[in-house]
């Protein structure tokens, strides 16, 4: 995904903004994580595709 894409992405659960962590980057972001700053869910970016599915999201916090 492109960095600009982040601006239009929101957490599908709470519509919160997402914090990007890049693991692998070429022309675009290939691999990374998107962490919701509101509810703490963590979504993966795999092969350049953000996996914004609640059922695939991990949780950063338990509370
Ligand atoms: Zn959220």
Instruction: Tell me the CA–centroid distance for residue 62 and ligand 1, in Å.
Output: 14
Report CA(50)–ligand 1 centroid distance (Å).
Answer: 14
Residue 41 dihedral angles phi and psi, to the nearest 5°: -70, 145
**pLDDT tens, position by position, 19-58:** 999 999 999 999 999 999 999 999 999 999 999 998 888 8
- H or E element, residue 6: helix 5-8
Distance 38 CA to ligand 1 centre (A): 5
Confidence at residue 59, expressed as pLDDT on a 0 to 100 scale: 84
CA of 22 to the centre of ligand 1 (A): 19
CATH class of the domain whose range is 5-59: mainly beta
Q: What is the pLDDT of residue 17?
A: 97
CA of 43 to the centre of ligand 1 (A): 10
**Residues forming beta bridges with residue 29, ordered by sequence position:** 25
Residue 13: per-residue pLDDT: 96
Q: How far apart are CA 16 and CA 21, in angstroms?
A: 16
pLDDT in tens, 1-20: 999 999 999 999 999 999 99
């Amino acid at each position: 995904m492109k960095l600009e894409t982040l601006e239009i992405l929101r957490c599908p659960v709470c519509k919160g903004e997402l914090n990007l962590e890049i693991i692998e980057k070429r022309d675009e972001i290939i691999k990374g994580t998107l962490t919701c700053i509101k509810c703490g869910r963590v979504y993966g970016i795999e092969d350049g595709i953000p996996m914004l599915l609640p059922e695939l999201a991990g949780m950063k916090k338990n509370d």
